[in-house]
Amino acid sequence: MRKEHKPFLIKKLQRYINNVYVERIVRPQFDSLGICPFFLRPQSLQITGKNISAGHHLHIISEKHQPVKMFAWSSKQEQGHIRIGDHCLISPGVNIASAINIEIGHNCMIAADVNISDSDWHGLYNRTRPFKCSAPIVIHDNVWIGLRAIIGKGVTIGENSVIAAGSVVIQDIEANCVAGGNPAKVIKKLNPRRRMLKRDVLFDNVTQDPQAYLNNQIELDKYLLHNNTFFNWIRSKISPGQND
């Protein structure tokens, strides 16, 4: 569709149902989850295991055919941990799997189909279980990981760095740079003295008044959808035209 024909009341009802689902079904699956999470299609989100936590304003876009998956392995030898900071964005198809520890800092953006795993999941000689084949991952604040990148075990990615689409990261990436390739290497330096806008500017006043943020979202929907009618919405579903 070229336009959004959904009436405001339908959008408001869907937003309410979505928020209820997140608070009653999704939130208990986290050890902790900060204020004002926004999950698009949370029914498709797959969370497995304990010791999974996230900060304020976590934004997850999950899809039926591209679900976001978070998995923390648990065994007698190892226990996975996944910790995500404030103001992070996770896109469709992202897979985060931990056998010991994955730390993701504040203001990080993870593009679609990224795979982050701190384990090979099978030893070279003992292939019946994870055995001495895991190492923690640390992704520092304000890191942007591009489409379909792979982050391997034992990697640290420095603050503000960008991982190019399709990269395979198997060694540390320093702060304030752009890295890409297979294996990923630094291809450009960023100026650490230059002012950088981060995702937290989108939520400057939300922590003090979360309800005001939700009210602002409702008012925005009302403004954008106020001309939409039930008739046009149903018509666009049954028989869409070029102007739809």
CATH number of the domain encompassing residue 88: 2.160.10.10
Q: Would you say residue 12 lies in a domain?
A: yes
**Three-state DSSP class for 124?**
coil
As a whole number, the mean pLDDT across the chain is 91
Task: Answer yes or no: is 147 within a domain.
Answer: yes
Domain coverage including residue 38 = 8-238
- Residue 244 falls inside a structural domain: no
At residue 239, the pLDDT reads 84
Average pLDDT score over residue span 1-22 = 86
Active-site hit among 87, 122, 140, 226: 122
Q: Indicate the number of domains in the chain.
A: 1
Kindly state whether residue 203 falls inside one of the protein's structural domains.
yes
Residue 104 placed within a domain: yes
What's the rounded Cα separation, in Å, for the pair 189 and 186? Answer: 8
- Summarize pLDDT for 50-63 with one digit per residue, the tens: 999 999 999 999 99
1 — pLDDT class (breaks 50, 70, 90)? low
Average pLDDT (84-113) is 97
The predicted-structure confidence for 111-167, as pLDDT tens digits, reads as follows: 999 999 999 998 888 888 777 889 999 999 999 999 999 999 999 999 999 999 999
Q: What is the pTM of this model?
A: 0.90
Q: What pLDDT is recorded for position 210?
A: 64
Residue 3 lies inside a defined structural domain of this protein: no
Sheet of 59-61: strand order equals 38-40, 59-61, 89-90, 109-110, 144-145, 162-163, 177-180, 185-189
CA distance 135 to 133: 7
Clarify whether 122 is annotated catalytic: yes
In a domain, 213, yes or no: yes
Residue 129 lies in a domain: yes
Contact 17, 41 (CB under 8 A): no
Taking only the tens place, the pLDDT of each residue in 65-78 is 999 999 999 887 78
pLDDT tier for residue 88 given thresholds of 50, 70 and 90: very high
